[in-house]
Structure 1
Amino acid sequence: MANLMKNVVLGFVGTKLDLGQNRRWKPTVSLVQHPHFKVDRLELLYDSDFHRLARQLQTEIQALSPGTEVLLRNLDLTNPWDFQEVYGKLFDFARGYGFDDDRERYHVHLTTGSHVAQICWFLLTESRHVPARLIQTGPPGAEGDAPRLDLIDLDLSHYNALQQRFDQLAREYSDQLRGGIETRNPAYNALIDRIELVAGNSDEPILLMGETGTGKTELAERIYNLKLDRRRVKGRLVHVNCATLNGPHALAALFGQRRSFTGQAGTERSGLLREADGGVLFLDEVDHLGLNEQAMLLHAIETGRFYPLGADHEVTARFQLIAGAGRDLNARVALGQFRPDLLARLGMWRFTLPPLRDRREDIEANLIHELARSERKLGAQVGFNADARDRFLRFAADPATLWPGNFRDFGGMIRRLCTLAPRGRITRVMVEDEIARLQADWRAARPDDDFRLIAGVMGARAAEMDPFDMVQLAAVIRACREAPSLSAAGRALFAASRAKKTSQNDADRLRKYLGRFDLDWDALAARPEAAPPV
């Protein structure tokens, strides 16, 4: 059956090459000069202005290959370099052609036609709108040789080596985002692979969420370097810590300022957005931006334009945006502290970095990474004694070690150990001392949630309470706020003891308890939790 299939070639008349400027070679005519490639039908697309050339080619081909049927198809193009017009007309041609894959094998001749036409042919064959292979022809290499003819098959399954190169490159980009660390946590690796796809194929904003110390800043820098390698940006990375943009100077720092706004020499500023033009703007701690700055930022992201302070005309800056946030932006929207439209714009690609306590498989790999980084800074080789390394890893991977500062705590611990290591060796005693130091810092920094809760209700009187009463009262306040009524709160609090009593008046019992602290249900249930007085 395959031997009975006809070879059909589609192509443009070459308005320059087919004129015969090269006396030894005309690309369209050369299609029928290959003994191992029989052309049963050749369909030539031509513009009306070149009808005579098309007829001339038809005559030459039929003289050289009487068995080849040559069909001329008129396809007038107003502008052969207009991509939209060329693609649209070739697409319509393909839809109306009526391909018969069972009886005919189709080929597209790429050598003739404008570069735009060649691109459109490629797109149409790759998408299978034209079910064909591609042909390229060339002049003979030497006198007496046949003209060159190359078949291009777009089925990449035939190019395993090429596919492996693509896969290897993708792995290298993902490894670049991991900072060269051989991470094993499946969720984190899947997250990085997804970020690699987004950063390499999209210019939309990227929002990095996560607790402090989870690596948002380093990841933003790696995303920028990946975009630079993929030629998606040419400019620099501008890193802005939004937590430092407070007061009247925040707008000027971000959007720039004209001297006329203040009238003072030296006050003109280009602004950080202008500095990021053509590159990447990393807005770290974006949740600290004020509402005015958020409104102007949204306009700048969507239009690429904004007004510097004191300016009468907008300026332009085209940049790609990465934003970092350590606090829940949805909660801040609910409190009226973050614009929902800005969150929607930032959150198209939203990635939450997991804390270190959820990535315990990666602790040893990160230990190797931090050791290498410390050695580079110190200019000396440092290593753990075997028992010291084992103690550190057991502590770091213990579920009771919560790493509240994440990689800031982790990296700081390693750098201190490396700096203090005598003769470049970290001992078990050093590790034990560092563990004790970290645990003491964590205990001191741990917020007293019970005190905060009670201080929000009782104010300064909370400081006069015994610790025993504080724990008990905090539990009562939480139960009251979660219950719809005083009776429901009483039933939840006294569920065990009420079964032993003949009289079960939970509401009265709870009311009397609150009265000991001069509190009542109505005021308690209505008041939101507040921070303790400073």
Structure 2
Amino acid sequence: MTKKNVVISILGVIKDNKGRGSKRWQTWRPNVSLVMQDDFKVDRLELLYDPEYFRMAGKVVADIQSVSPHTEVVLVEAPWADPWDFAEIYGWFDQYTRHYPVKTESENYFLNITTGTHVNQICMFLISEARLIPASLLQVSPDLDAENRAVGTLRIIDLDQAKYDALASRYQEQAQTGQDFLKSGIKTRNAAFNTLIAEIEQVAIASSDPILLEGPTGAGKTQLARRIYELKASRNDVMGKFVSVNCATLRGDGSMSALFGHSKGAYTGAQQSREGYLKNAHQGILFLDEIGELGLDEQAMLLHAIEEKRFYPVGSDKTVFSDFQLLAGTHQDLQQAVIKGTFREDLMARINIWSWKLPGLTERLEDFEPNLDFELQQHARQKNKQVRFNKTARAAYMRFATQPDSSWSSNFRDLTASVNRMVTLSEGGRINEENVNREISRLQQRWQPAKNQHDSSVELSDYLSEEQLTSIDQFDQLQLVNVIHICRQCRSMAEAGRRLFNVSRSEKVSSNDSHRLRNYLSRFGLTFKNITE
């Protein structure tokens, strides 16, 4: 049995009313054109109309029946108070489709999106997409080159799910491109860091709220802030400049002037007015690194500027307008600074809407190799000279770099400086074993003061009772001393676990270093928190 074609359409109060008398048959009218197609038979047309246009609807029905007598036309009242009100229109369609007698075994359904407001058309698309009615979309169009211009053309819009999947994949590729951009194209292997970057990319695109980047010195906060700006600028989300300020360099009375500007004659020596960093960042991004170094007065003015987008330059009674997005960086624990009274609680609440802690290099040792390659590529671009390791030298450098005793105290700054030294001292475009050995010695000497600062002797009696100590073998005591020593050097249990189980973890499909360390410490009634605090 051949199925019937059923079309649900909206009366076009302008397009369906074109032409007068016999001239209307030389004019393209969407709903009349619909039933005049040679290759598409309309068995039933359900025409939605505003009761105000009942007479017009009747004329259109008469013309449809005159050119297509086999088409059954059903008029459906659609008393929309405002055809541009999405809530009203979608609510009406929702009720209409819920009570619609669908008979898929005998009827094919189509939704004509040629007429009606854009809101009508969107709602029809949503109905088809959600399968509230199992209908395809169709559209009729005029054909100005045809001999009979009243007929036009008809096109069924393909909503093949496979094509949707391809489109979704394209959007996924675009998102991945944004994440790779934030990582400077470095193919990181650390799952937690990749997740962190994905979240930052999503927020950076969707929001202009302040972002707080936490993490140790050299973890890449400034680099990431600049990449966020470049990502937003590439999408025309920001039109102004990227203004980067290290708040640790702002001292005394000059800090107010540097941030907020000053008027001419505001103080002795102020011979010219100055705009200040906040004004310079108008329509762009202001990155305040080490924001915890700002004084309380500067913090108060900054909070006002963020919330009101206005502030007073030093010595001026006129406000200045600046609309910028704030990115802030810190290596401090700002929550502790709030408790101590050195950082304003209200400013903390304002800048802590989105916050992420960037891990140090020792927390991402699996990413050391791709970052090493990135540094070599950077050098090649800047100096127009390609330098590589020989195989033995690279293996020796990687072993040293990823061993537990390598502190990388300045994180990626240490790595950048290390590569620059080896590249500079290399000959013939090759970093050899001698270059690597000299660099290892240099790093060990540089890190030694930092190690000594943390390497206070471990006394088990500080952690265990006398009764416990007498029940533990000397062998186990020596091992426990070393474990505690490593834990006290690390910022997290995960970092300590990676250093302690650096070989065995690589042999597992999935490793949980924190769990292994927790179980070991629990044998002695200890926790990571007990040790580190």
Hey, what's the Cα distance between the residues in 2 that align with 1:332 and 1:138?
67
Q: Supply the AA of the counterpart residue of 2:194.
A: N
Aligned residue in 2 for 1:461: none
Contact 1:62 1:70 in 2 (8 A): no
Shift of 1:440: 0.9
Greater Cα shift, 217-226 or 108-117:
108-117
Q: Deviations over 1:165-203 (max 9, x none)?
A: 222222211211111112111111122222222222222
User: Structure 1 265/308 Cα, relative in aligned 2: closer, same or farther at 3 Å?
Assistant: closer
Aligned residue in 2 for 1:58: 61
Q: What SS does structure 2 have at the residue aligned with 1:283? A: strand
Shift of 1:113: 3.4
Aligned residue in 2 for 1:41: 45
* Aligned positions of 1:165-204 closer than 5 A: 165-204=170-209
Hey, what's the Cα distance between the residues in 1 that align with 2:174 and 2:448?
46
Shift of 1:70: 3.7
Greater Cα shift, 407-416 or 433-442:
433-442
% identity of equivalent residues: 41
User: Which one of the candidate residues 317, 325, 347 is aligned to 1:320?
Assistant: 325
Shift of 1:211: 0.9
Shift of 1:97: 2.0
User: Structure 1 346/438 Cα, relative in aligned 2: closer, same or farther at 3 Å?
Assistant: same
User: Structure 1 126/434 Cα, relative in aligned 2: closer, same or farther at 3 Å?
Assistant: same
Q: Does 1:91 align with 2:90?
A: yes
Hey, what's the Cα distance between the residues in 1 that align with 2:269 and 2:247?
26
Shift of 1:373: 1.0
Hey, what's the Cα distance between the residues in 1 that align with 2:255 and 2:167?
51
Aligned residue in 2 for 1:113: 116
Hey, what's the Cα distance between the residues in 1 that align with 2:202 and 2:156?
32
Q: Deviations over 1:78-133 (max 9, x none)?
A: 6x6xxxx5213313322432433743765443333344554565567656778754
User: Which one of the candidate residues 412, 416, 419 is aligned to 1:411?
Assistant: 416
In the superposition, the TM-score normalised over structure 2's length comes to 0.76
* Aligned positions of 1:130-529 closer than 5 A: 133-140=136-143, 142-144=145-147, 147-153=152-158, 156-259=161-264, 261-262=266-267, 266-446=271-451, 448=453
Shift of 1:51: 5.1
Q: Deviations over 1:123-177 (max 9, x none)?
A: 6765677875433321136425852223335564443432332222222112111
User: Structure 1 191/496 Cα, relative in aligned 2: closer, same or farther at 3 Å?
Assistant: closer
Q: Deviations over 1:405-460 (max 9, x none)?
A: 11100110001111121222222112111111111111124473699xxxxxxxxx
Aligned residue in 1 for 2:32: 29
Hey, what's the Cα distance between the residues in 2 that align with 1:300 and 1:29?
61
Q: Supply the AA of the counterpart residue of 2:350.
A: R
Hey, what's the Cα distance between the residues in 1 that align with 2:269 and 2:61?
79
Q: Supply the AA of the counterpart residue of 2:85.
A: V
Q: What SS does structure 1 have at the residue aligned with 2:436? A: helix
Q: Supply the AA of the counterpart residue of 2:301.
A: M
Hey, what's the Cα distance between the residues in 1 that align with 2:80 and 2:396?
79
Q: Supply the AA of the counterpart residue of 2:103.
A: R
User: Structure 1 405/37 Cα, relative in aligned 2: closer, same or farther at 3 Å?
Assistant: farther
Q: What SS does structure 1 have at the residue aligned with 2:405? A: coil
User: Structure 1 47/440 Cα, relative in aligned 2: closer, same or farther at 3 Å?
Assistant: farther
Contact 1:274 1:317 in 2 (8 A): yes
Q: Deviations over 1:293-341 (max 9, x none)?
A: 2222223323333333334343332222222111112221221222233
Greater Cα shift, 266-275 or 348-357:
266-275
Hey, what's the Cα distance between the residues in 2 that align with 1:149 and 1:43?
17
Hey, what's the Cα distance between the residues in 2 that align with 1:261 and 1:129?
68
In the superposition, the TM-score normalised over structure 1's length comes to 0.76
Hey, what's the Cα distance between the residues in 1 that align with 2:159 and 2:347?
43
Contact 1:11 1:108 in 2 (8 A): no
RMSD value over aligned CA atoms?
A: 3.3
Greater Cα shift, 199-208 or 5-14:
5-14
Contact 1:258 1:308 in 2 (8 A): yes
Contact 1:91 1:129 in 2 (8 A): no
Hey, what's the Cα distance between the residues in 2 that align with 1:269 and 1:244?
18
Hey, what's the Cα distance between the residues in 2 that align with 1:45 and 1:284?
61
Q: What SS does structure 2 have at the residue aligned with 1:401? A: coil
Shift of 1:371: 0.8
Q: Supply the AA of the counterpart residue of 1:103.
A: K
Q: Which runs of 5+ in 1 are unaligned?
A: 452-470, 483-491, 500-534
Aligned residue in 2 for 1:103: 103
User: Structure 1 304/142 Cα, relative in aligned 2: closer, same or farther at 3 Å?
Assistant: same
User: Structure 1 496/124 Cα, relative in aligned 2: closer, same or farther at 3 Å?
Assistant: closer
Contact 1:378 1:419 in 2 (8 A): no
Q: What SS does structure 2 have at the residue aligned with 1:259? A: coil
Aligned residue in 2 for 1:510: none
Q: What SS does structure 2 have at the residue aligned with 1:282? A: strand
User: Structure 1 323/18 Cα, relative in aligned 2: closer, same or farther at 3 Å?
Assistant: farther
Contact 1:29 1:61 in 2 (8 A): yes
Hey, what's the Cα distance between the residues in 1 that align with 2:133 and 2:232?
34
Shift of 1:376: 2.3
Hey, what's the Cα distance between the residues in 1 that align with 2:103 and 2:321?
58
Hey, what's the Cα distance between the residues in 2 that align with 1:368 and 1:346?
35
Hey, what's the Cα distance between the residues in 2 that align with 1:118 and 1:259?
59
User: Structure 1 138/285 Cα, relative in aligned 2: closer, same or farther at 3 Å?
Assistant: same
Q: Supply the AA of the counterpart residue of 2:340.
A: L
Q: What SS does structure 1 have at the residue aligned with 2:90? A: helix
> What is the count of residue pairs matched by the alignment?
459
Hey, what's the Cα distance between the residues in 2 that align with 1:309 and 1:86?
49
Q: Deviations over 1:354-403 (max 9, x none)?
A: 11112122111111111111122223221222221111111111122121
